[in-house]
Amino acid sequence: MSTMRRRSGRGTAAVLSVAVAAALLVLPDAAASQQAAGAGEVTFATDVAPIFYENCVSCHQENGMGPMSLITYDEVAPWAPVIKDRVESRFMPPWHVDRTVGIQQFKDDISLTDAEIETIARWVDAGAPLGDADQLPPPPDFPDRGEWQLEAEYGRPPDLIIYSDPYTVPASGLDKWWYPVVPVEGIDEPRAVMATESRPSIGSYAVTHHANSNVSKYAVGKPYDKMPANVGLLIEPGHEVTFNIHYFPNGEEVKDAQLEIGMWFYPEDDEPRIVVPWSRATASFSSLSDTDGPEAQTILIPPHGTQVTQGVTVLDKPGMIYSVRGHQHTHGAGQMIEAIYPDGRREVLNRVGWQFGWHITYTYEDDVAPLLPAGTVILVTAWYDNTERPGNPDPDQWVIYGRRSADDMSHMHIGYVEMEQEDFDWMVEQRRMKQQEQQVVQQGG
Ligand code: HEC
């Protein structure tokens, strides 16, 4: 409870209640970190390395996307002050969900707990000591790029792999875009996809900037997409996969770079209740009133100024949001998605910060993915900041709507399953029954 006492010292009543709630939420960890403190010095070997191995080194390793490796003490030590800054500001690990509002249960949440951040900060303040090297946990073992990340979870390699046509990336030159279209082969009947994972072929990892297709996304940090329980994506023989791959030359020619999309199917004898075509499994909700017509001018940010825009989308069929991902350019300062239900209730689903360069998909836990009746209004609010700050190319310019990085835009990419009414009612009922069961368990316990 040390967290609570220390924070309550500097707050108003409102801040205090937030701090209390936060302290209660992290109680088990707070208790653990207090134990560590009681035991003496916080060291890399015993306290910090386990946190880094769990939360940082998947990217911060020699072949990872992070700019430096954070595995050995010698690699980490020079970075200690910068690390403290980046974890306290929650810039690292890249997970920019506002923790004070909205849904907080996500699949594959890589963020740190308050207690972990406190441990790192105390370690840096104490001079970042190594401690007893014999106590270091074994460094994690990385699958080489030849292994699929979801393979361990599902206990088998993908059921189907789709390869983009090969492309040779030259040693130098400008960015290259590659848009091959590949028919689905290797299945002779429609199947329901439970998860997809994308990976660049061996050797092309360093030159693949981003890669999307109509059936998958390859984004930094999390190259896979998992569907919620009871929902599958329909894939059919002959279905066309259209790729959109952005390569950038990296000093060495890479021959025959390919993007590989692995797909895991639901078992044939256990097909999900809801099977949707890809085109009905995503949505894009704008925070502008209109991006095509004259209203597209709604972004107009003065030099050194700020702006807020809002856009609404009315759902004419019932559906479920299973993931959210923001999108803005260099002036983006964050977005919020709210649901206004047909009965008038208004709920903040999430507020996400925006860091240019990071496209993070936040996937809800199955039990909390918002179920939205027909008639629900989705309200997306976006904030822009054209003041002088890191990442803003030129605060002296007016900023308008547009596709160039110097312009700005704002929409949210949503993992969204549109449903028939009877399937929706069934999903609602499933969830109600599950909640009831959990209550019984809790009361009984
Ligand atoms: C999903 C991949 C990923 C994870 C997980 C991750 N990082 Fe990073 N990190 C990056 C990338 C990429 C950059 C550089 C890009 C940038 O600065 O925007 C970066 C930058 C940093 C920097 C700033 C380096 C500089 O030059 O200023 C620090 C410090 C850092 N990370 C520490 C951490 C720590 C500590 C953790 C775990 C608690 C962590 N990161 C987890 C990918 C990651």
- In terms of Cα–Cα distance, which of 139, 164, 161, 165 is closest to 150? 161
- In terms of Cα–Cα distance, which of 46, 67, 200, 71 is closest to 134? 46
Residue 278: DSSP 8-state: G
Name which residue sits closest to atom 24 of ligand 1, judged by CA: 67
Distance CA 329, CA 209 (A): 17
Asked if residue 59 has its Cβ within 6 Å of ligand 1, the reply is: yes
Counting ligand 1 atoms within 8 A of each CB, the residue from 48, 63, 86, 360 with the most, and so the one to mutate, is: 86
Residue 352 has a CB neighbour count (10 Å cut-off) of: 20
Lookup result for tokens 């361990």: 152
Name which residue sits closest to atom 32 of ligand 1, judged by CA: 83
Confidence of residue 145 (pLDDT cuts 50, 70, 90): low
Lookup result for tokens 């260099």: 330
Asked if residue 80 has its Cβ within 6 Å of ligand 1, the reply is: no
Confidence of residue 360 (pLDDT cuts 50, 70, 90): confident
Asked if residue 66 has its Cβ within 6 Å of ligand 1, the reply is: yes
Q: Stretch 10-34: mean pLDDT, rounded?
A: 37
Residue 438 within any structural domain of the chain: no
More confident residue, 45 or 16: 45
Asked if omega into 93 is within 30° of 0 (cis), the reply is yes
Confidence of residue 24 (pLDDT cuts 50, 70, 90): very low
**Helix (H) or strand (E) run with residue 86 in it:** helix 80-88
Q: What is the pLDDT of residue 143?
A: 63
Q: What is the pLDDT of residue 4?
A: 32
Residues pairing with 30 in the sheet: none
Distance 94 CA to ligand 1 centre (A): 7
- Domain match, 242 and 303 both: no
Q: What are the φ/ψ torsions at residue 339 (nearest 5 degrees)?
A: -115, 130
Structure tokens at 444: 């009984």
Q: What is the pLDDT of residue 321?
A: 96
Q: What is the pLDDT of residue 296?
A: 54
Of 7-21, 127-141, 197-211, the one with minimum mean pLDDT is 7-21
Strands 208-213, 240-247: parallel, antiparallel or unpaired by DSSP? antiparallel
Atom of ligand 1 nearest to the CA of 220: 1
Atom of ligand 1 nearest to the CA of 55: 37
Q: Stretch 356-375: mean pLDDT, rounded?
A: 91
Query: What CATH number has the domain bearing residue 163?
Result: 2.60.120.230
Residue 17 has a CB neighbour count (10 Å cut-off) of: 12
- Domain match, 303 and 388 both: yes
Residue 436 within any structural domain of the chain: no
Burial 277-298 (b: 16+ CB within 10 A, else e): ebeebbbebbbbeebeeeebeb
Counting ligand 1 atoms within 8 A of each CB, the residue from 52, 60, 222, 356 with the most, and so the one to mutate, is: 60
Range of 18's domain?
Answer: 2-131
Distance CA 273, CA 199 (A): 29
- List CB contacts of 266: < 8 A, sequence separation 6 or more: 191, 192, 193, 194, 232, 272
State the chain's mean pLDDT as an integer. Answer: 85
Number of domains in the chain: 3
Asked if residue 357 has its Cβ within 6 Å of ligand 1, the reply is: yes
- Domain match, 415 and 292 both: yes
Q: What is the pLDDT of residue 10?
A: 30
- Domain match, 49 and 88 both: yes
Residue 141 within any structural domain of the chain: no
Q: What is the pLDDT of residue 20?
A: 35
Distance 66 CA to ligand 1 centre (A): 5
Q: Residue 198, SS3?
A: strand
- Domain match, 351 and 293 both: yes
- From 276, 291, 326, the end of a domain falls on 276
Cα–Cα distances in angstroms (integers) from residue 63 to residues 100, 206, 221, 291, 413, in the given order: 35, 9, 13, 39, 29
- From 261, 276, 291, the end of a domain falls on 276
- Domain match, 262 and 316 both: no
Asked if residue 92 has its Cβ within 6 Å of ligand 1, the reply is: yes
CB 350 within 8 A of CB 102: yes
Residue 441 within any structural domain of the chain: no
Residue 443 within any structural domain of the chain: no
- From 229, 252, 276, the end of a domain falls on 276
Asked if residue 56 has its Cβ within 6 Å of ligand 1, the reply is: yes
Q: What is the pLDDT of residue 36?
A: 43
Distance CA 363, CA 368 (A): 10
- Amino acid identity at 286: S
- Domain match, 288 and 262 both: no
Confidence of residue 220 (pLDDT cuts 50, 70, 90): low
Asked if residue 223 has its Cβ within 6 Å of ligand 1, the reply is: no
Burial class (CB in 10 A: 0-12, 13-18, 19+), 186: exposed
Name which residue sits closest to atom 18 of ligand 1, judged by CA: 357
- Domain match, 167 and 268 both: yes
Distance CA 221, CA 415 (A): 17
Lookup result for tokens 């924070």: 7
Q: What is the pLDDT of residue 1?
A: 29
% of residues, the chain, pLDDT over 70? 86
- Domain match, 293 and 414 both: yes
Distance CA 386, CA 301 (A): 7
- Domain match, 171 and 216 both: yes
Of 35-39, 274-278, 321-325, the one with minimum mean pLDDT is 35-39
Q: What is the dihedral of CA 33, 37, 42, 47, to 10 degrees?
A: -30
Name which residue sits closest to atom 19 of ligand 1, judged by CA: 66
- Residues 46-68: tens digit of each pLDDT: 999 999 999 999 889 887 778 89
Counting ligand 1 atoms within 8 A of each CB, the residue from 44, 52, 56, 87 with the most, and so the one to mutate, is: 56
- Domain match, 80 and 157 both: no
CB 54 within 8 A of CB 112: no
Residue 338 within any structural domain of the chain: yes
- Domain match, 270 and 308 both: no
Q: What is the pLDDT of residue 115?
A: 96
Residue 166 within any structural domain of the chain: yes
Residue 138 within any structural domain of the chain: no
